[in-house]
Amino acid sequence: MSRISLKRLAQMKEQGERIAVLTAYDASFACLLEQAGVDVLLVGDSLGMVVQGQGSTLPVSVDEMVYHSSAVARGSKRAMVVADLPFMSYANPEQALHSAARLMKEGGAQMVKLEGGAEVVDTVARLAGMGVPVCAHLGLLPQSVHKLGGYRVQGREAGDAERILGDAKALQQAGADMLVLECVPRELAARITEALAIPVIGIGAGAATDGQVLVLYDMLGITPGKRPSFSHDFLAEHGSIVAALEAYVTAVRDGRFPTEQHGFD
């Protein structure tokens, strides 16, 4: 069984078939997510918070990302595995190349994800030029939470919206193969999705994107503390983990998730 490819994801965007993405951190959940029909398994540095109990994603290391990515890769056969480049592992293009090589060679990832706009365009170009598939990440950037002043919606002001749109176009031009948009207004997410040829995956970005991603532990309702407003507890409604995962995939495919309450104006 061959894994879902970049070509397949591009076809899904072109055909209007929504892409279902969830985070995964271990082999057992990777297997369950794949069986439920999840297209992309994102080994997120969110593991720092939901697995390790850290206050942010910042303490996560490349070694830890390699460890979790390799576990997810071993537990799956069909879904694409995307691994986050953690904080300060891509401060320059050469460091990014070294970190990405580890995530792909040792961690079994098919794509790496990095946060940032214009400041990482050269890095994206360097990775793409060396054959590394790249998922960009705009909007709320968890690795920059201290710079941003907290976990807040991005792009509400006209100037900020135009900057994010410009960054998205620049990242695509540099060679990015996919884009995650986090916590941006629905209208902005729709504009960016329409403007780009690459798939756009939303989280707290409304229903107009090409696909959706949630943190696994959030959508199962097991993350300690307050759940993000853009998430939804699928386990509470469906009674078992397997049923909850299948319900999430179906809701994304059918356009029933996210609803208006899961987005921002």
pLDDT digits (tens, 9 = 90+) for 65-118: 999 999 999 999 999 999 999 999 999 999 999 999 999 999 999 999 999 999
How many CB atoms are located within 10 Å of the residue 140 CB?
Answer: 22
Task: Supply the pLDDT for residue 221.
Answer: 95
Among the ranges given (14-23, 66-75, 206-215, 226-235), the one the predictor scored with the smallest mean pLDDT: 226-235
- pLDDT band for position 203 (50/70/90)? very high
Name all domains of the chain by residue range, CATH numbers in brackets: 6-262 (3.20.20.60)
Averaged pLDDT, 31-59: 97
pLDDT at residue 151, rounded to an integer: 73
Question: Is residue 49 scored above 80 in pLDDT?
Answer: yes
CB 118 within 8 A of CB 151: no
- Closest of 252, 244, 178, 243 to residue 217, by C-alpha: 244
Q: pLDDT at position 225, please?
A: 86
Q: What is the pLDDT at residue 6?
A: 97
Look at residue 145 in the predicted model and tell me its pLDDT: 81
**Mean pLDDT of the 192-210 span:** 98
Q: Are 18 and 252 in contact (CB under 8 A)?
A: yes
pLDDT band at 41 (very low <50, low <70, confident <90, very high): very high
* Cβ count near 122 (within 10 Å): 13
The reported pLDDT for the residue numbered 165 is 98
pLDDT value at position 111? 98
Residue type, 190: A
Distance CA 183, CA 27 (A): 29
Which residues fall within 8 angstroms of residue 158, CB to CB, at 6 or more apart?
Answer: none
Computed from CA positions of residues 55, 31, 115, 250, in that sequence, does the dihedral angle turn out positive or negative?
negative
Give pLDDT, residue 61.
98
Q: Taking residues 8-30, report their average pLDDT.
A: 98
Give the Cα separation of 151 and 161 in Å (integer).
17
230 band by pLDDT with thresholds 50, 70 and 90:
very high
Candidates 17, 182, 187, 237; catalytic one: 182
- Per-residue b or e along 40-59, where b marks 16 or more CB atoms closer than 10 Å to that residue's CB: bbbbbbbbbbbbeeeebbbe
Amino acid 156: pLDDT:
94
Give the distance from CA 90 to its chain's centroid.
17
Mean pLDDT of 212-223: 97
Give me the pLDDT at residue 226, please.
83
pLDDT band at 147 (very low <50, low <70, confident <90, very high): confident
What region does 166 belong to: left with phi over 0, alpha with psi -120 to 50, or beta? alpha
Burial of 128 (0-12, 13-18, 19+ CB in 10 A): middle
3-state secondary structure at position 54: coil
Average pLDDT over residues 45-64: 97
Q: pLDDT at position 177, please?
A: 98
- For the cut 80, the answer to whether the pLDDT of residue 148 exceeds it is no
Catalytic site residue 34?
no
